[in-house]
Amino acid sequence: MSAELEERLLRYTAIDSQSDSGSDTTPSTDVQFDMLNLLVEELTAMGAADVTLTGYGTVLAGVPGTVPGPTIALLAHVDTTEQFAASGVKPRVLRNYDGGEIRFPDAPDLVLSPAHNAYLGTKAGDDIITASGTTLLGADDKAGVAIIMTVLRHLLETPDLSHPPLRIAFTPDEEIGRGVHPDLPGDLGADFGYTLDGGEIGRIDYDSFSADAAEITVTGVSVHPGKAKGKLVSAITLASRIMTTLPQGGMTPELTEGHEGFIHATEMSGNAAEMKISLILRDFEMDGLEEKGRIVRAVCDAVQATEPRARITCEIRKQYRNMRYALDSDMTPVTLARDAMAGLGIEARSEPLRGGTDGSRLTELGLPTPNLFTGMQEIHGPLEWISVQDMTAATQVCLAILDAAGSAD
């Protein structure tokens, strides 16, 4: 399977499929259709059942079960993040990695080193895939796509394997929080699922952030600067005041870890007449998330009070919720994954997931969907890398889960 996984990842990552939070289309970018349509073609060619590209930009397919059991879904997303250059990706393979520093052909000063990524230091002898240094790789989440496609191909070409019904979905726009359409759980028709969108080998993620987004708009009073005395109200000045008034110590991403939440400004744009500030609010508990929303609103109100001629609005919208809220009451998919890993000699680990996956939203919509490892590391930047052997292990875990689910009493 390693050769197939490698070939698929190299081919998929070379396809531009970056999403765009500024777009109001679904998918948010036309280039995502290059991946979606390709997957429809490949699934149809390999003989998958019920291959569909939905009106909301998700590819669905399945494999009928050979034995009774729960219908299990496997999901991955086709888009790559807009946070870093993702067009013109040139993936490359470092065979039998020697355990030392990795240099990049298109960025000679860029260095990937075990000194800064301890997990890399455990991968000597593995085959490592990176990009060329000027773009991200896109293993997030085309590694998940490659793993699921390999699982599906293996099941279809080995019809005597014992497994329950399998459903798969490849979603767009996960990176901008719009990957799960409300119709997706019903269209999948699964009892539970797994996203293949995780990091180091053995990870099972089911305790994720709860997330909201805040959009602050500051409208000032625009006047010619030569005649501005007593009249001009600069939106830039007020937006800067908001940023400096927001809590800094202990409530920003670079100062938090584990179960600690944060308030993070992701974008500021505009001019003296109007400024917009985009924020993300994250916490593992709803009380903490709601408190962060109150803090942002209170800061906006306080700055507004200093300048009544301006207008400051703050809109907070829901993004996703911690999947643990639902999975705490039924840990079946988590237990099944842990047992599958144990049978393969893989140590299962669950730590706070300082982010979210499509599984967060799916779980909230009634389809329990924890997240499994793929091996991806240093995502969303030029140092992104993945071990082919980790991808192989993830594929074996998926097959072991299906085998165990089909063998259960």
Query: Catalytic residue numbers?
Result: 79, 174
What are the structure tokens assigned to 308, written together?
Answer: 């009544």
Angstrom distance (rounded) from CA 147 to CA 158: 16
CB 371 within 8 A of CB 195: yes
Q: Cis peptide before 308, with omega less than 30 degrees from 0?
A: no
Other CB atoms within 10 A of residue 76 CB: 28
Answer yes or no: is 140 a known binding residue. Answer: yes
Chain centroid to CA 329: 24
Got the DSSP string for 304-320?
HHH-TTSEEEEEEEEEE
Angstrom distance (rounded) from CA 65 to CA 208: 31
Answer yes or no: is 358 a known binding residue. Answer: no
Q: Cis peptide before 287, with omega less than 30 degrees from 0?
A: no
Which single residue is written with the structure tokens 């903490």?
A: 288
Going by C-alpha positions, the residue among 252, 246, 318 that lies closest to residue 286 is: 318
**Given the DSSP bridges, would you call strands 311-320 and 204-205 parallel, antiparallel or unpaired?**
unpaired
What are the structure tokens assigned to 116, written together?
Answer: 């800064």
Angstrom distance (rounded) from CA 12 to CA 26: 21
Answer yes or no: is 274 a known binding residue. Answer: no
Q: Which residues are annotated as a binding site for Zn(2+)?
A: 77, 140, 175, 197, 380
